[in-house]
Amino acid sequence: MNSFKRFMGLVWMVVGVVVYIILLKTAIAQVSVKPMADTIIQWSIFVIIFLPITIGFLIFGWLAFNGAYDKLPISSEEIEG
């Protein structure tokens, strides 16, 4: 199971990058079709807000790939330790 968890960590990193590129491409396409303030604002919100979340997802994938989730902590000492 732990090998699978680690392998999936790699998958999450790839998924994070691919989804963000798709979002970016869609935003550019939509803004060029309708270059109005409303469209620009809407898509800018998506691009900006999902950037830190994508970075978080990449970190999650990286941690999983490195075995950080092989065993979850069951007490605060384990988290802090």
Partner 1 sequence: MESPAGKKQIRKVIFASSVGTLIEWYDFYIFGSLAPIIALQFFPKTNPTAALLSTLATFAAGFIVRPFGALVFGRLGDKVGRKYTFLLTLVLMGGSTFAIGLIPGYEKIGFVAPLLVLLLRLIQGLALGGEYGGAATYVAEHSPDSKRGFYTSWIQTTATLGLLLSLGIILITRQSMAPNSVDSIRIFEDWGWRIPFWFSVVLVGMSIYIRLKMHESPVFSKLKAEGKTSINPIKESLMHRGNLKMVLLALFGATMGQGVVWYTGQFYAQTFLENVCKVDFSQTRTIMIWAIIFATPLFIFFGNLSDKVGRKWIIMSGLLLAVVLYRPIYHQMVNLTSTTESVVDTGLTKIERIITPVSGKGYGLQTTSTLQTFTNGIIEKKVHMDTLLNDGSEKPQVTDRVSKQLPTDRYWMMIGLIFIQILFVTMSYGPIAAFLVEIFPTKIRYTSMSLPYHLGNGVFGGLTPFIAVLLGTMYTGDLLVGLWYPIIVAGLCLVIGSIYLSNVVDKNIND
How far apart CA 43 and CA 61 sit, in angstroms, is 26
Could you say whether residue 42 binds partner 1 (CB under 8 A)? Answer: yes
**Cα–Cα distance for residue pair 29/50, rounded to 1 Å:** 17
Q: Does 51 bind partner 1 (CB under 8 A)?
A: no
- Tokens found for residue 15: 């998924």
| Using rule CB under 8 A, residue 59 touches partner 1 | yes
User: Which three-class secondary structure state does DSSP give residue 76?
Assistant: helix
- Residues of this chain that bind partner 1 (CB under 8 A): 4-5, 8, 12, 15, 30, 38, 41-42, 45-46, 49, 53, 56-57, 59-60, 63-64, 68-69, 72-81
